[in-house]
């Protein structure tokens, strides 16, 4: 006789725990206690006769068998959800939790979010805006937009855009700036978390340093850009995220100097979640969003220097 399937509620608990790699986060998602999640996972392990998780001091990790089992369970759940949509039943809303750096969330994700939700009926997307890197082992998130080099152990990362730095200010202030040396005596706005933005830009512009009239330090990109827009001073801005404000004319680039950043923005998720259709759709949408950001930025970037014509050798006859 065929072996009886494990309890569905236990499979649901295992799926949540494997996605979050955390009994606590799985419990929060399913409105249960961590001990209840642990108990249901043990039901499946007893049913299968093997361990699905390695239980460490403060974290859990999938065993090799657990990875294989989770891949199958996740695909089965996705197929059931897709079948429910296909036959016209009202599906339970699928939840996705995205952690994004505040500048990306405020400038691009939130203003364009409606188009993504329209393409995914039944999906609920929770956007957490935070400058810190979310902890996939402990936080109840499914994906993140991170700044870095793309190398995070245990996670899958896809670069969604390269970044660069340029200066921006209000149009009236820009009218007084003819060359980088005119920065002398002006108010320079700094971001406390990227203190090297100004020194790197000045070096790229060929300036050893500049004597500012005043210096203002803020702790968020939003505050820095708002201060520049209000005419307080000049600020380093992130390319291509600054494109909408340049397109509106609220800010301008006083100098055609753009400094490539060391790292870029990446879409990050757990390796065990990489093939979830909803996460793939979110990743593809963010890639397209950043493609549009770069296209909108193009008119404001300095033209690439024309290639020098190659000299043709002339043969003597």
Percent of the chain with pLDDT over 70: 91
| pLDDT for the residue numbered 52 | 94
Please tell me the chain's helix, strand, coil percentages from 3-state DSSP, rounded to the nearest 5.
45, 20, 35
Which of the two residues, 141 and 235, has the higher pLDDT score?
235
CA distance readout (Å), 277 to 75, 81, 90:
9, 11, 18
Q: Residue 305: phi, psi to the nearest 5?
A: -60, 140
On the CB side of 276, CA atoms within 13 Å amount to 25
| pLDDT for the residue numbered 307 | 44
Q: For residue range 38-91, what is the model confidence (pLDDT) as tens digits?
A: 999 999 999 888 999 999 888 899 999 999 899 889 888 887 777 666 655 444
Closest CA to 146 of 192, 112, 114, 98: 98
d(CA 18, CA 12) in angstroms, rounded, equals: 10
304, with CB counted inside 10 A (0-12, 13-18, 19+), is: exposed
CA distance readout (Å), 264 to 106, 160, 257, 261, 272:
18, 8, 19, 7, 23
CATH of domain 163-261: 3.40.190.10
User: Which own/partner contact pairs does 64-73 have at CB distance under 8 Å and 24+ positions apart?
Assistant: 66/18, 67/272, 69/14, 70/14, 70/15, 70/18, 70/272, 71/272, 71/275, 73/11, 73/14, 73/15, 73/18
CATH T-level assignment (fold) for domain 94-161+264-298: D-Maltodextrin-Binding Protein; domain 2 (3.40.190)
CATH 3.40.190.10 spans which residues of the chain? Answer: 94-161+264-298, 163-261
Examine residue 232 and say whether the peptide bond preceding it is cis (omega within 30 degrees of 0).
Answer: no
d(CA 291, CA 285) in angstroms, rounded, equals: 10
CATH 1.10.10.10 spans which residues of the chain? Answer: 8-86
- The reply to whether the predicted model has a pTM over 0.75 is no
Q: What would the two tokens of residue 252 be?
A: 């301008």
d(CA 96, CA 310) in angstroms, rounded, equals: 54
| pLDDT for the residue numbered 87 | 57
Residues 296-304 have a mean pLDDT of 87
User: Which own/partner contact pairs does 79-85 have at CB distance under 8 Å and 24+ positions apart?
Assistant: 82/277, 85/121, 85/122
Checking phi first, is residue 274 left (phi over 0); if not, alpha (psi -120 to 50) or beta?
Answer: alpha
CA distance readout (Å), 187 to 148, 211, 250:
29, 10, 18
pLDDT value at 258 more than 50 = yes
DSSP element (H, E) containing 53: strand 53-55
Q: For residue range 264-278, what is the model confidence (pLDDT) as tens digits?
A: 999 999 998 999 999
Closest CA to 256 of 184, 168, 161: 168
CATH T-level assignment (fold) for domain 8-86: Arc Repressor Mutant, subunit A (1.10.10)
């Amino acid at each position: 006789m065929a072996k009886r399937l494990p309890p569905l509620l236990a499979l649901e608990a295992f799926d949540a725990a494997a996605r979050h790699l955390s009994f606590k986060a799985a419990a929060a998602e399913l409105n249960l206690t961590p001990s209840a999640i642990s108990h249901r996972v043990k039901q499946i392990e007893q049913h299968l006769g093997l361990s699905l998780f390695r239980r460490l001091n403060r974290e859990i990790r999938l065993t090799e068998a657990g990875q294989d089992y989770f891949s199958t369970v996740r695909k089965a759940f996705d197929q059931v959800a897709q079948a429910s949509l296909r036959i016209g039943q009202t599906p339970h809303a699928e939840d996705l939790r995205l952690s994004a750096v505040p500048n990306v969330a405020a400038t691009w994700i939130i203003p364009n979010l409606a188009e993504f939700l329209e393409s995914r009926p039944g999906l609920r997307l929770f956007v957490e805006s935070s400058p810190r890197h979310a902890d996939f082992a402990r936080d109840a998130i499914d994906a993140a937009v991170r700044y870095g080099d793309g190398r995070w152990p245990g996670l899958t990362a896809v670069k969604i855009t390269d970044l660069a730095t340029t200066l921006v200010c209000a149009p009236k202030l820009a009218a007084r700036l003819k060359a980088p040396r005119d920065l002398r005596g002006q108010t320079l706005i700094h971001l406390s978390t990227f203190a090297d933005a100004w020194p790197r830009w000045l070096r790229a512009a060929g300036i050893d340093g500049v004597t500012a009239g005043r210096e203002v330090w803020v702790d968020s990109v939003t505050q820095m850009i708002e201060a520049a827009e209000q005419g307080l001073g000049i600020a380093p801005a992130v390319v291509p995220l600054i494109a909408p404000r340049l397109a509106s004319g609220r800010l301008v680039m006083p100098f055609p100097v753009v400094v490539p950043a060391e790292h870029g923005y990446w879409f990050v998720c757990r390796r065990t979640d990489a093939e979830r259709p909803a996460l793939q759709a979110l990743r593809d949408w963010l890639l397209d969003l950043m493609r549009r950001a770069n296209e909108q930025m193009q008119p404001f970037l300095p033209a690439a220097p024309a290639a020098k014509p190659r000299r043709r050798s002339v043969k003597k006859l």
